[in-house]
């Protein structure tokens, strides 16, 4: 069978017959032969559809993990079909909040992390409203460090830092407001940020107030509470 060979051998200064003989065993040791049939038939097949399927499944698992971490109702009495669902932007904002807490090496996800998560996600009505009122991610991070200080550089946050009590109350507030409204649709990032604002003793409220947010702005933002585009993950 014909074969293709790759030979590696030392280059001798002389091409004498003696040198060729002495070099031959060394050449044979490093000779790599691959059959032509192997080269013709053996290929690395990459199917884009397979990668898309895997990526889609991983994204679905990630979303499912996060959404289960968010409360959908405060009681178990509500019918399952009436339980409000979080919007895609709210879920992503929550995930980004966890990530920001980890970046700052915080042991928990607090109201300040939820605030950062909304700004990192950046496309929601709440995030745009905050930016229009000069509440940016950079300013919020600065205020967090001033208020809470820096964590130990050798401390490593858990993969999903547990919610602080005020942060959990902020999420519960968002759910309650959605249920009280009686409106259909999802719990939006506007519900979430107003839930943060409702926790008067928490870091998120203090940072927002320090950057100029007040009850009047909260009322203005609240008018658009249910106007966020429905874009849930499918």
Cα–Cα–Cα angle for 83, 111, 87, rounded to 5 degrees: 35
Say how far apart CA 212 and CA 150 lie, in whole Å.
24
Say how far apart CA 234 and CA 221 lie, in whole Å.
28
From 101, 90, 123, 92, select the one nearest 195 (Cα to Cα): 90
Share of the chain above pLDDT 90, in %: 46
The pTM of the full predicted model, rounded to 2 decimals, is 0.67
Beta bridge mates, 35: 3
Average pLDDT in the chain = 75
Give the pair of three-digit tokens for residue 231: 């874009």
Output b/e per residue, 149-178; b: 16+ Cβ within 10 A: eeeeeeeebeeebebbebbbbbbebbbbbb
Predicted pLDDT of residue 42? 46
Residue stretches of the chain with pLDDT short of 50? 1-34, 37-47, 49-51, 54-65, 67-69, 72-73, 77, 230-234
Predicted pLDDT of residue 177? 92
For 135, phi then psi, to 5°, come to -105, 100
Say how far apart CA 172 and CA 74 lie, in whole Å.
7
């Amino acid at each position: 069978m014909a074969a293709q060979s790759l030979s590696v051998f030392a280059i001798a200064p002389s091409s004498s017959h003696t040198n060729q003989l002495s070099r031959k065993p060394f050449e044979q040791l490093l000779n790599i032969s691959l059959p032509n049939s192997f080269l013709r038939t053996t290929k690395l097949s990459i199917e884009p559809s397979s990668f898309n399927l895997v990526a889609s499944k991983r994204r679905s698992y990630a979303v499912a993990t996060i959404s289960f971490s968010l409360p959908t109702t405060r009681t178990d009495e509500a019918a399952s079909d009436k339980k409000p669902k979080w919007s895609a932007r709210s879920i992503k904002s929550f995930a980004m909040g966890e990530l920001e807490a980890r970046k700052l090496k915080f042991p928990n996800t607090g109201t300040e992390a939820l605030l950062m998560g909304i700004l990192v996600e950046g496309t929601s009505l709440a995030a745009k409203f905050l930016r229009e009122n000069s509440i940016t991610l950079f300013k919020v991070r600065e205020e967090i460090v001033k208020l809470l200080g820096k964590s130990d550089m050798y401390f490593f946050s858990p993969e999903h830092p547990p919610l602080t009590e005020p942060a959990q109350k902020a999420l519960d507030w968002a759910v309650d407001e959605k249920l009280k409204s009686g409106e259909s649709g999802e719990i939006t990032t506007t519900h979430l940020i107003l839930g943060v604002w409702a926790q008067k003793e928490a870091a998120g409220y203090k940072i927002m107030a320090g950057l100029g947010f007040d009850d009047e702005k909260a009322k203005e933002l609240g008018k658009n509470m249910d106007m966020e585009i429905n874009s849930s993950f499918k």
